[in-house]
Structure 1
Amino acid sequence: MEDINHRHFKVFKPYGYLSQFISNASKQQSKKFLGTLFSFPVGSMAVGRLDEPSEGLLLVTTSGKTSALVNSKKVDKEYYAQVDGVITKEAIAELKNGVTISVEGKSYVTKPCNVFKLENIPVLPKRAKKIRDDRHGPTSWVSITLNEGKFRQVRKMTSIVGFPTLRLVRVRVGKHTIKKMDAGEVIEIDNVL
């Protein structure tokens, strides 16, 4: 049973932040960390990660057991990806069925997942660094829901089918969403699952 003294949070990680709380290396002194967004309790850890240019929902807990449970249960994670070009039905079908990407120098076939083109541009907080505009060519948005999480997986997947990701926002992890949250906002929640 979960220790009731543990605390859990959902965070809208802004663009340009690392999914860490403090710097481990002197070369990272100029980087931005989660710990600067909120005074998280001692022992807090991110459940999964988002790379520095990615945005969106990040769950934080003080419970290692909860973190491991979420990762072991293969909880669904939904991403909105703005891709370069007007994505085709063929590319969406490839993404759904699984594509071969490189993971740690080895070929990896992604698991089948739920993918569809968003008909409308999603309403999201303005990003700290501007994305190029339509003068440089059209873009489109897709929803990709995975229950695995290889390093930079969504970016690798869209690139391999010919539509590189320009902006990536995780909008949902399990039952938790970023709905009505602003970039940098932290909300304490009762539990992660």
Structure 2
Amino acid sequence: MVSFYLMLIAAYLIGAIPTGILLTRLSGAADIRKSGSGNIGATNVYRVAGKKLGILTLVGDALKGAIPVLAAMQLPGLAPAHIGVVAVAAFLGHCYPVYLGFKGGKGVATALGIFLVLCPLAVLGAFAIFAVLLWKWRYVSLGSIAAAAAIPLLIYFIDGRLAMVATTLFISLIVIWRHRQNITRLLNGSENRFKA
């Protein structure tokens, strides 16, 4: 079990790497925490520093979720519940990174990486929901919230394992909670629309 606890620590520290900040600093762009929405995730990087860095941030944040889960799956004897805890550790690392005083992103891309490993078919369904809502109303936040709300149900019907459903539900609830300001702006009509 020592290897499992080491994996938990590694998962959190990997998840806590602030991809968006590192990429924008290396490119000489403005500090994204002081620009746009102030969020360190891919959407704000896209708006502040451009399409290329936004996409790279999305990929990097997704890998922070995928890599620890893939690594956990290689450890012998780990039950689905243990793998789920590793996934949660990586996700919480992104949302509450020690490197940034526990002030991180909203977790959508990191959750995406986790779910791509745990249940890629469910991700297809959630992405379809996200894409339709983004196309119809041009709100990234609305699509993200709806996809987060849907994916526990999708994983329940596709996978069915209690540990995976519980992991997904926990992560999804945190994603929605971290979008609470976006929900307020959506309700009062002041949320920013996505511009390609």
TM-score range normalised by the length of the shorter chain: under 0.3
Normalised to the residue count of structure 1, the TM-score between the two structures is 0.27
| Richer in helix (by share) | 2
| Richer in strand (by share) | 1
Normalised to the residue count of structure 2, the TM-score between the two structures is 0.27
Larger Rg: 1
